[in-house]
A and B are shown apart, each in its own frame.
Chain A
Amino acid sequence: MDWQFTHETFLSLISALPLTLSLAGASIALGAMLALALALARTSGILVLDWFARAYVFVFRGTPLLVQIFLIYYGLSQFPAVRHSIFWPVLREPYWCAVIALSLNTAAYASEIIRGGLLSVPHGQVEAARACGMSRLMVFRRIVLPLAIRQALPGYGNEMISMIKATSLASIITLMEVTGVAARIISETYRAIEVFVVAGFIYLAINFLLTRLVQLVEFKLSPHLRQPENAAQAVIAGDAR
């Protein structure tokens, strides 16, 4: 392996890292809000909302992400109405098209994860909150949502990792994020293996850190599953004796 070349490749790829992270961050944040709305629509019991959410999830999970990206980036510009609308400055930019497509896509997957979390909240908890005189909104904000998030977190962590991987597709619509730069270097030098190793290492590092972060949040959110600290110390002291 040529260390000089590997080092240079690493430097060019790491300079593309902010774009990858910003694509992933923006679409995870937007997608999460949309996903929550979809999950609420699914569990609302209102037939129209329920069917809309079902259809949305069916369409976005049943088609490739790349088709969705192309439909938004290339497809929408076909209509003069879109080109002359106030949204054009946004829809003209490959960055925003990628963010929109990724958010719409992740929302479909994440809404099912959040729905699972919402359904897992025990009914007794809601009843208890009601008995305390909480309003519907407060029950949702203080009881249902925190419990649902805790339950959905492991699944959501996997979805976030898929999103990090999915940002690579933005390179196909000319965005120079990590995979885009990697593809450019490979096609210029034809040294696929070195570039692949470096780019793969960067993605693995991001996903490793992300997994750890999710584990940390999970740990913080579930103090009730851990032994109280002084009890744990007592056990240790007991063992020592």
Chain B
Amino acid sequence: MTQPGFLDLLSFGPDGWSKALLAGAWMTILIALSGYTIGAVIGTFGAWAKISGGRAVRVAADAYTTILRGIPDLLVIYLLYFGGSAAITSIGRLFGADGFISFPGFLAGALAVGITSGAQHTEVFRGAFKAVHRGEIEAAIACGMSRSLRFRRVIAPLTLRHALPGLGNVWQVVLKESALVSITGVVELLRQSQIGAGSTGLPFDFYLIAGLIYLAISTVSSIALRQAERHFSRGVRRG
């Protein structure tokens, strides 16, 4: 058997892997986006809990960020994937289904990525809120804005502007973390490369291609984030 060359692997033909790899890359982006969104929602609540929550809520939020920043992400994925399967199986048993029901890998992965990135989101939002000048909020109160109007028109836009660089960093971390979801069997970019490596016996080529695609995604998103930062800092005087 002659082994295909590096460029043969990249062709779109019947022997090429490009289609499969691009589909895997798309899945990676989907996992990362879902995880990121879940994380942002958790982060919003977490930041709110840390800033203006009562004592109990604050302690809970502190415990959440401390724990999630101190334990490996892989462990969280194992917990949700295996723990979720165990939970679903026992629920299934209640309804008379016997045998093992596995938890969907995509859901477990996105939730795990979301829960771990939620801790980082919390800190980013909290720091960004702290950076909003008291005076701006006072001015909004003085104008007679209601609480919700104040949040919507003044606090949220200003917090977002300050949070944007941090949010960009979290996105890069989430994108790389999504590779861990491959252990649940979801066919994302890394899993697809493993499949390709296994069936062609060319692991180096496949992992190299996977690495290049990750690099491309992160480069494109960092350019987009820089544009967004520029857009949302219009009217900010520098220096």
A residues adjacent to B (C-beta < 8 A):
58-59, 61-68, 70-71, 74-79, 161, 165-169, 171-172, 179, 182-183, 186-187, 190-193, 196, 199-200, 203-204, 207-208
Are B214 and A62 in touch, CB under 8 angstroms? yes
Task: Supply 14 A–B pairs (Cβ within 8 Å), ascending by A.
Answer: A63-B176, A64-B179, A64-B214, A65-B179, A67-B207, A74-B207, A78-B202, A79-B204, A161-B69, A168-B74, A169-B180, A179-B72, A190-B82, A196-B83
Contact between A75 and B72, CB atoms less than 8 A apart: no
Most buried by B among A74, A76, A167, A204: A74
Q: Which of A179, A204, A207 lies in contact with B74, CB distance below 8 A?
A: A179
Pairwise interchain contact B215-A204, C-beta atoms closer than 8 A: no
Known: A61-B172, A65-B176, A182-B78. 16 other contacts (CB 8 A): A59-B211, A62-B219, A66-B180, A67-B211, A71-B204, A75-B208, A168-B75, A171-B74, A172-B74, A179-B72, A179-B75, A187-B82, A191-B86, A196-B79, A199-B71, A203-B72
CA distance A203 to B182 in the complex (A): 23
List the B side residues contacting A166 at CB < 8 Å. Answer: 72
Nearest-Cβ distance from residue A239 to partner chain B, whole angstroms: 31
Report B's interface with A, CB cutoff 8 A: 66-67, 69-75, 78-79, 82-83, 85-86, 89, 172, 176-180, 182-183, 190, 193-194, 197, 201-205, 207-208, 210-211, 214-215, 218-219
Q: Are A200 and B203 in contact (CB under 8 A)?
A: no
Question: CB distance B70 to A204 under 8 Å?
Answer: yes
CA distance A161 to B97 in the complex (A): 44
Tell me if A75 and B204 are in contact (CB < 8 A): yes
CA distance A161 to B72 in the complex (A): 10
**Cβ contacts under 8 Å, B204 to chain A:** 71, 74-76, 78-79
| B190 contact set on A, CB distance < 8 A | 64, 66-67, 70
When distances are taken between beta carbons in the complex, the residues of chain B under 8 Å from A190 are 82, 85-86, 89
Give, as a whole number of angstroms, the nearest-CB distance from A215 to chain B: 15
Q: Cβ of B193: which chain A residues have Cβ within 8 Å of it?
A: 67, 70
A108 to B231, CA, bound (A): 30
Question: Does the CB pair A71–B79 fall under 8 Å?
Answer: no
Shortest distance in angstroms between A35's beta carbon and chain B's nearest beta carbon?
Answer: 19
Give Cα A203–Cα B78 distance, bound, in whole angstroms: 15
Which among B66, B201, B210 has the highest number of chain A CB atoms within 10 Å? B210
Q: Which B residues lie within 8 Å of A171 (CB)?
A: 74
Query: Across the interface, do B176 and A75 meet the contact criterion of CB distance under 8 Å?
Result: no
Would you call A63 and B75 a contact (CB within 8 A)?
Answer: no
Closest CB pairs A-B (n = 8): A192-B83, A168-B72, A75-B204, A64-B179, A74-B203, A64-B176, A196-B79, A165-B72
Query: Is the CB–CB distance between B182 and A66 below 8 Å?
Result: yes
